[in-house]
Amino acid sequence: MTRITLGGAVLRGTVSTALMASLISAPALAAAPVDLSKWSPEYVRSIAGTQDFDTSADCAKVTPLDYKGRLTFWYQGVFEGDPDLLRQYYKDFFETFRKTYPNIQLEEQALTYNDLLDKFRTALLGNAAPMAVRLQILGGTEFASKGYLEPLKPEDVGYSTEDFWPGAMKAVTWDGVTYGIPTNNETMAFIWNADIFKRAGLDPDKAPATWEDVVKYSKQIHDKLGIAGYGLVARKNAGNTPYRFMPQLWAYGGGVFDEATANPTYQQIELDSPQSKAALQASYDMYVRDKSVPVSALTNQQADNQPLFVAGQLGMMISHPSDYNVMLDLQKKATGTDKDKAQTVIDNMRYGLIPTGPDGKRAVVFGGSNIHILKPEYVEGGKVDEPAAKAIICMWTSPEWSLKMAYAGSNPGNLNGFKTKWMKERLDKIKFLDVTTSMLPYGIPFPALPQSPEIMNIIIPDMLQNALTGAMTVDQAADDAAKKVKDLMGGL
Amino acid sequence: MTIVTGKAEARRRLQPGRSGALRKIWEHRADYGYVLPAIAVMLIVIAYPIYYTVELSFFKTPPGLQLRDKIFIGFDNYAAILTSEVFWKVTLNTLIWTIGSTFFSFVLGFAAALALHRDFVGRGVLRAILIIPWVISAVAASYIWKWIYHSDFGIIGAVLVGLGLADRPPNFIDNVSTVLPSLIVVNIWREFPFAMIMMMAGLQTVPDQLLRAAEVDGANAWQRFWHVTFPHLRNVSTVTILLLAVANFNSFIIPWIMTGGGPSNASHIWITHIYELAFGRQRWGVASAYSVLLFLMLMTLGYFYVRALAGNERKEGSA
């Protein structure tokens, strides 16, 4: 039997509400289509399937269905770590768009998370960007601040700003102007293998409560069973690294700046604070002192942890609810005794809340993606077909498609997506979805700064690698990273 | 005696005082006309990017600004590069990478060429097999080797542990000390067939008569190699080494795919570092200054390459 440690009382308690306030503003709370102050697995279940939406009718009000035009569109698409289910929804979306808008000539291009920013930046330099782009949450501010993006708010495609997570709207806002619309938002959860826990002498149905416990459990698993305990990821230029380290950093009370507070100002650099150093020390203890995590963590990303986990060689990791479907896909592809082994792992897969820091603070990255329209001067040919761009944006950010495109791995950017029948179906089909939605109130957005991609994709992984390889001590690595952030913010 | 036609005389009068070089160009104007389109294309796709890179190297390009808002800072980027710790670390890595890869690829390729120069059963098949690493896509090879080296479940580690030769899989690419040598091994594996082909071609030019004459004179195998074969291969060796060195200096795919320059910058070479500076961190100015320095170094290597080629041609011409 699967038992999930949700900490439901805590979720519905004051801590949850207080953290929620860091994501949302009072006016938004009042007007949101779902009551975010009541957020809990039960509440999400209670609103699922309560409202119907007609996507093509809604989008027809924005761009007539017989509109004739041409659209170039790049998007962060599925990659090797995504389940097959998600691939199918992406195919369905583009097929549906072409049927809905038969006269729009769509030229779409999918790029993986780690390639998109580099390619998009290069295209912008040559004024060869697409007319519309769907970027990771980290990228919007960078391009908005440089003046590449057209102002774009939910109202421009028939929705209301309150239809979206306030935290997500912050990530598309620069200097008071909104430059994009969130397509999906998610928080990850903690995953463990109950069978490994049991064999290592741990309670199989109890997730580690704190990060100290993670370090302890990881060592115990490694010492008793000779396999990796926790799936640490410290690869550079890979989104997986900050998504797994920042929750740890914030839980310890650290941060890059004050991004974990309710009203961040990003003025004070906190990477070299004792709290941040304690978080880094925990990673050091697992990698260097205890050798209880994969040695390949420095070159690995989450997609490399998945086969380790399904092979029963990894005890714990942080990831999306989609990892359960990924495990099912991997199990299907396994042969002989490997198939049975994988099934045992799947049967013993457990999801729980991400552990807290020493002071009881729980945090997770508030992730997701946004969709934007480019200014004509940066687009190939110098023209942007705005009605065509708005048509695809309206469709992707609709309650229906923002849910379907996030079916296995994320959550709808449009909060109305939680009310659809597909959400109801999803709650039944996607195991452990409750746990990841329960993490949403603990979500902290990356700093809404143009420098964030460099900080998260290069400076943070560099700090980890410097400490974990012994190139620097923990203190030196943290100080070095803080200096790099300072230089970066100073325009160097 | 030169017979001057009226037409030629008229043409000569039209261009009074023309210098020797210009006269030559004029005389070959039809030839220049044929190559003009190629020269125009080269100016657009080679000369302009070089000019723009040099220009950009004098500007600061903060990550919060568009490239068109760049700030002129003179030689500051060059000064910053030459005084930075990273520059010297990356330069040392690049030298180790280039020299190590070039030297061992050449030695291994030369040895393979000598072995395959002899006639034996299966020589053709072996030659074809040895060329495989060179024809495999570098991207595919990098991914394959990444898995072979994998620090947790790589094939090498599994074999060593299985045979009881190690307690746990060796750490090849997640360790600052072993990562660069491990990448060099992959590069050698990929490049030695090129050296082998070049040296095999060179070996076919060594006259059999000289080798037989040396044998008659009592020279042993080593003496025949050192005094007859090797001098004949000097020029092809020089060219092979220079081509390998230039390719290795410019090498990107293997280190970028396998480690991305990590861990802790231990496998960053110039090209990967420039890529990260430009596309990861948007320091176009600094990346351009690095590129200019790299360009100068490669031009120096290119100069020696051209000299070696010219030397070859002179010797062949006088032979």
Angstroms from A31 CA to nearest CA on chain B:
34
H/E stretch holding A140? helix A140-145
Which of the residues B67, B150, B151, B152 would you substitute to probe the A interface, choosing the one with the greatest number of A C-beta atoms within 10 Å?
Answer: B152
The percentage of chain A sitting over the pLDDT mark of 70, rounded to a whole number, equals: 93
Cis peptide bond N-terminal to A83, omega within 30:
no
Query: Cβ of A237 under 8 Å from any chain B Cβ?
Result: yes
| pLDDT for residue B168 | 85
Residue type, A59: C
One DSSP character per residue, chain B reads --PPPHHHHHHHHHSTT--HHHHHHHHTHHHHHHHHHHHHHHIIIIIHHHHHHHHHTTEE--TTS-GGG-EE-TTHHHHHHHT-HHHHHHHHHHHHHHHHHHHHHHHHHHHHHHHHHS--TTHHHHHHHHHHHHHS-HHHHHHHHHHHH-TTT-HHHHHHHHTTS-SS---SSSSTTTHHHHHHHHHHHHHHHHHHHHHHHHHTTS-HHHHHHHHHTT--HHHHIIIIIHHHHHHHHHHHHHHHHHHHHT--HHHHHHTTT-STTTT--HHHHHHIIIIIT--HHHHHHHHHHHHHHHHHHHHHHHHHHHHHHHHHHH-
Closest by Cβ to A454, choosing from B60, B264, B281: B281
Find the closest chain A residue to B267 by CA distance: A299
Find the closest chain A residue to B255 by CA distance: A299
Tracing tokens 């890529």 back to the chain, one arrives at B275
CATH superfamily label, B68-318: MetI-like (1.10.3720.10)
Q: Give A492's contacts in chain B (Cβ within 8 Å).
A: 62
Residue A11 has pLDDT above 80, yes or no: no
Average pLDDT over residues A41-49: 90
Burial string for A86-99 (b: 16+ CB within 10 Å, else e) reads beebbeebeebbee
Average pLDDT over residues A373-394: 96
Burial string for A298-324 (b: 16+ CB within 10 Å, else e) reads bbbbbebbbbbbbbbbbbbbbbbbbbb
Q: Give B169's contacts in chain A (Cβ within 8 Å).
A: 295
Rg of chain A on CA atoms, in Å: 22
Burial string for B52-91 (b: 16+ CB within 10 Å, else e) reads ebeebbbbbbbbbbbeeebeebeebbbebbeeeeebeebb
| pLDDT for residue B211 | 87
Cα first-last separation, chain B: 34
| pLDDT for residue B18 | 57
A251-255, A393-397, B258-262: which has the minimum mean pLDDT?
A: B258-262
3-state SS assignment for residue A131: coil
| pLDDT for residue A223 | 96
A4-8, A226-230, B277-281: which has the minimum mean pLDDT?
A: A4-8
User: Tens digits of per-residue pLDDT, B21-76?
Assistant: 888 888 888 988 999 999 899 888 889 999 999 999 999 987 777 888 889 999 99
Q: Contact B174/A146, CB-based, under 8 Å?
A: no
Asked if A231 contacts A296 with a C-beta cutoff of 8 angstroms, the reply is no
| pLDDT for residue A2 | 35
Q: Structure pTM?
A: 0.82
Phi-psi label, residue A158: left if phi above 0, alpha if psi -120 to 50, beta otherwise: left
Furthest-apart CA atoms within chain B: distance in Å: 93
Query: Cβ of A458 under 8 Å from any chain B Cβ?
Result: yes
| pLDDT for residue A31 | 60
Q: Contact A299/B282, CB-based, under 8 Å?
A: no
What backbone torsions phi and psi does residue A32 show, to the nearest 5 degrees? Answer: -65, 145
Angstroms from B15 CA to nearest CA on chain A:
45
Q: Contact A299/B64, CB-based, under 8 Å?
A: no
User: Tens digits of per-residue pLDDT, A62-106?
Assistant: 999 999 999 999 998 877 767 888 888 999 999 999 999 999 999
Residue window 251-280, chain B: list those with CB within 8 Å of chain A: 258-266, 276, 279-280
Closest by Cβ to A145, choosing from B64, B169, B265: B64
| pLDDT for residue A328 | 85
Angstroms from B151 CA to nearest CA on chain A:
5
Distant-in-sequence, close-in-space partners of A243: CB < 8 Å, separation ≥ 6: A188, A318, A365, A367
Residue B11: pLDDT band (50, 70, 90) is low
Residue type, B308: A
Find the closest chain A residue to B171 by CA distance: A295
Closest by Cβ to B263, choosing from A457, A469, A488: A469
A63-77, A139-153, B4-18, B147-161: which has the minimum mean pLDDT?
A: B4-18
Question: What mean pLDDT is reported for chain A?
Answer: 88
Question: What mean pLDDT is reported for chain B?
Answer: 87
Closest by Cβ to B260, choosing from A236, A297, A466: A236
Angstroms from A246 CA to nearest CA on chain B:
19
Query: Cβ of A146 under 8 Å from any chain B Cβ?
Result: yes
Which of the residues A118, A122, A223, A236 would you substitute to probe the B interface, choosing the one with the greatest number of B C-beta atoms within 10 Å?
Answer: A236
| pLDDT for residue B298 | 84
- Of B40, B43, B45, B69, nearest to B56 by C-alpha is B69
Rg of chain B on CA atoms, in Å: 26
Burial string for B150-170 (b: 16+ CB within 10 Å, else e) reads bbbbbeebeebeeeeeeeebb
Average pLDDT over residues A224-236: 93
Q: Where are the alpha helices (DSSP H) in A234-299?
A: 240-251, 274-284
Q: Give A295's contacts in chain B (Cβ within 8 Å).
A: 151-152, 169, 171, 174
Q: Contact A295/B171, CB-based, under 8 Å?
A: yes
3-state SS assignment for residue A267: coil
Q: How far apart are CA A472 and CA A490, in angstroms?
A: 24
Residue B140: pLDDT band (50, 70, 90) is very high
With a threshold of 0.90, tell me whether the complex ipTM lies above it: no
Average pLDDT over residues B95-121: 94
Q: Give B279's contacts in chain A (Cβ within 8 Å).
A: 118, 121-122
| pLDDT for residue B7 | 56
* CA dihedral angle for residue B111, residue B114, residue B120, residue B126, rounded to 10 degrees: 50
User: Tens digits of per-residue pLDDT, B267-307?
Assistant: 999 999 999 999 888 889 999 999 999 889 888 877 887 77
Instruction: Work out whether the CA dihedral A270, A274, A278, A280 comes out positive or negative.
Output: positive
Average pLDDT over residues A41-57: 92
One DSSP character per residue, A157-210 reads GT--GGGB-HHHHHHTEETTEEB-EEEEEE--EEEEEHHHHHHTTS-TT---SB
Q: Contact B263/A228, CB-based, under 8 Å?
A: no
Average pLDDT over residues A243-270: 93
User: Tens digits of per-residue pLDDT, B231-241?
Assistant: 889 889 988 99
Query: Cβ of A469 under 8 Å from any chain B Cβ?
Result: yes
Instruction: State both tokens at A41.
Output: 């697995």
Tracing tokens 């302009």 back to the chain, one arrives at B48
* Total count of residues recorded for chain A: 492
Domain ranges of chain B: 68-318
Asked if A141 contacts A180 with a C-beta cutoff of 8 angstroms, the reply is no
3-state SS assignment for residue A80: coil
| pLDDT for residue B312 | 65
Residue B142 has pLDDT above 90, yes or no: yes
Residue window 40-69, chain A: list those with CB within 8 Å of chain B: none
Asked if B216 contacts B229 with a C-beta cutoff of 8 angstroms, the reply is no
The percentage of chain B sitting over the pLDDT mark of 90, rounded to a whole number, equals: 51
Closest by Cβ to A237, choosing from B151, B263, B280: B280
User: Tens digits of per-residue pLDDT, A164-212?
Assistant: 988 899 889 998 999 999 999 988 999 999 999 999 999 999 999 999 9
Instruction: State both tokens at B97.
Output: 């990478």
Find the closest chain B residue to A471 by CA distance: B264
Q: Contact A465/B66, CB-based, under 8 Å?
A: no
Three-class secondary structure assignment of B227-286: HHHHHHHHHHHHHHHHHHHHHHHCCCHHHHHHCCCCCCCCCCCHHHHHHHHHHHCCCHHH
Residue A14 has pLDDT above 80, yes or no: no
| pLDDT for residue A241 | 92
User: Tens digits of per-residue pLDDT, A450-469?
Assistant: 889 899 999 999 999 999 99
Q: How far apart are CA A464 and CA A236, in angstroms?
A: 9
Inter-helix orientation angle B29-42/B20-27, to 10°: 90
